Chains A and B, each alone.
Chain A
Amino acid sequence: MKQLIDNFWQFVNGVDINAIPMELYLVVSTVMFFAGVAGFIIRKNLLAVLISVELVLNAAELNFAVFNRYLYPDLLEGMFFSLFGIAIAAAETAVAIAIIINVYRNLQSVDVEKVETLHG
């Protein structure tokens, strides 16, 4: 068992990044992005719509990091863009949830169809 664990860590530590083609990462982030787009359209709950937006943002940030690592490995631009993107996504989520809670307080619902009464 210990031998197995040692082998596992040796395997993890001796990884060769170019064993994985860049395109696989991009396909994963594409699926994540379009899952977010579909969720944005089909969901009725405002919080679920916000979660779909999070999926889209997350896919974009993954793309920045992957392009940085594979095409310009000696620079850090993509990594910092992802870092700032994460911070902005967190801020945006906080404000959006504050708005949703306010909507719930006024309408007793977070359904997107009920929110239509908001336009004046």
Chain B
Amino acid sequence: MILIFAILALVIIVSSVLAITSNRMMHVAMYLLFVLAGTAGLYFLLGYHFLGVVQLSVYAGGVLILFIFAILLTNTKGERSEVHGVKRIIPAVLASVLGIGVIAIAVIKHTFLYVDKTAAAAADTTEIDMKVIGNALMGTEKYQYLLPFEVLSVLLLACIIGGILIARKR
């Protein structure tokens, strides 16, 4: 268990650092794929199987294809992607390392109020029933999500129309 987590964590950390330092755009897209797949693995590890499958199919399947097409459509001078000069890199790296240090220390020092460790341990090894997820997604009562679901569908429609309007040939 901890071994699988260690492998996934290593893949995520190394790939996300390489994704912002790699020179070739196609490699950057591949490193993004590794990060997203590793995150899906963490969702599976947490017991959120549905969320992991959505992550894989929407992110790794949809968004990444969009990125690859965009990279291929806009590649100039051998699809190289330079980074800014040292004047921009040093403050950025400094701020990130400082941020990671502060947040990591804060997270590790803080004691979270675990609700009930034993009950959580018993419940966690089983995946969430699809029936529960479906009922929560399609109901209108408290703790149910039909309204956000419908709002999201309107947002997606607006995005389709906006995308066509922006990207079409004049």
Shortest C-beta distance, A78 to chain B (Å), equals: 9
Provide the residues of chain A in CB contact with B136, threshold 8 Å.
76, 80
Please tell me which one of the listed residues A42, A55, A65, A87 contacts residue B43 in the complex, with CB atoms under 8 A apart: A65
Provide the residues of chain B in CB contact with A77, threshold 8 Å.
143
Q: Which residue of A lies closest to B151 (CB)?
A: A84
Shortest C-beta distance, A3 to chain B (Å), equals: 18
Shortest C-beta distance, B159 to chain A (Å), equals: 4
**Number of cross-chain contacts by CB at 8 Å:** 234
Cα(A11)–Cα(B3), bound, Å: 11
Cα(A38)–Cα(B126), bound, Å: 38
Cα(A58)–Cα(B58), bound, Å: 12
Hey, which bits of chain B sit against chain A, CB under 8 A? Answer: 1-2, 4-5, 9, 12-13, 16-17, 19-20, 25, 28-29, 32, 35-36, 39, 42-43, 45-48, 50-51, 54-55, 58-59, 62-63, 66-67, 70-71, 73-74, 76, 81-84, 88-89, 91-93, 95-97, 99-100, 103-104, 107-108, 112-115, 117, 119-121, 123-125, 128, 132-133, 136-137, 143, 145, 148, 152, 155-156, 159-160, 162-163, 166-167
Hey, which bits of chain A sit against chain B, CB under 8 A? Answer: 11-12, 14-20, 22-28, 30-32, 34-39, 41-45, 47-48, 50-52, 54-55, 58, 61-62, 65-66, 69-77, 79-80, 82-84, 86-95, 97-102, 104, 108-110
